[in-house]
Amino acid sequence: METTHPCTKTKGFLIVNLDKAKIGKKGVAIVLVLMIILISSLMIGMVLYFSGKGTEISLIDKKYKTAKDASYGAVDFFLKDFIPTSISIATATPSSSIISSLNSLNLTTSTAISKIATDTCFSSKLLSSTSSWHGTCSASSDIKTSGDIKFSLKAESSTPFDVYIRITDTIQGNSNTGGVMLEGTGVAESSSGIITPQHFPYTYSIDVQGERQLSPSERVQLEVLYAY
C-alpha cells in the first residue's frame, strides 16, 4: 500500500495558495487600472464640456454686444438729432414730422431709416401727453408693427441690423424757458435766493429693440428715459 509523505501534502497546499494570491492581486490591479481610466475619461469629458460651453457663452456674449452697440448708435442719433429736428418741424407742420426730418438730416447711404407710425401720430407723441395721443397710434405690444421708426444699419461683413424705436409714454414738463442747470449753483450763489429749475418741456419713455436681419436670436431690448 502506497503512502504519501506529509511534507508533500503541505508543500502542494502552499503552492496552490500562492497561485490564488497572485491571481487575486492581478484582479485588484486590473480593477484599479479600470477605475483610473474611468476617472480620467470623466475628467477629460468634463474639461471638453466646459470648454465647449465657454466657447458657446463667449459667442452669445459677442452677438449680444454687437446688437447692443448697433442699438446704442441708433438711440444716440434718435435722441440727439432726430427728436430735436422732429419737434421743430412738428410744431409747424404736424403732418410731416418724420418725412421732413429725414429729408433735412441728409443721411448717408449706410443708414436707412423708414417710418412705421404715421406723421400725425408721431407728432402727437412728441408734443402731447400720452392720454392725448392721436387715435392712429398703435396699441400693439409688438414693436415691429407698432414702433415709430426703424433703422437699418449696415454691418461690415454680414447682414445689417434692424433697430426699432418706439415712444411709449410722454410727460409734459415745465414751461419756463429761463431756467439754469442746478449743477454748480447752490442757494448761496443765487443773488435772488430763488433757484429756477432747468427747462424740460418733455420727458419720453422709449422702447428699443435691435436685431440682426435673418437672425433674430442676435437681439437686444432696451428701455430709455429721455428728458428733452
Q: 115-160: per-residue pLDDT in tens? A: 888 888 998 998 889 999 988 898 888 998 899 999 888 877 778 8
Positive/negative CA dihedral, 86, 205, 141, 127: negative
Please write the tens of the pLDDT for every residue from 69-109: 889 989 998 998 888 888 888 887 767 777 777 777 766 65
Residue 8 has pLDDT above 50, yes or no: no
Overall average pLDDT of the 178-194 stretch: 52
Average pLDDT, the chain: 76
Residues 59-66 have a mean pLDDT of 73
The C-alpha cell 469629458 sits at: 45
pLDDT of residue 36: 84
Pairing of strands 111-115, 149-153: antiparallel
Query: Percent of the chain having pLDDT more than 90?
Result: 16
Flag whether pLDDT at 6 surpasses 60: no
pLDDT tier for residue 44 given thresholds of 50, 70 and 90? confident
Q: What is the DSSP string of 210-228?
A: EEETTEEEEEEEEEEEEE-
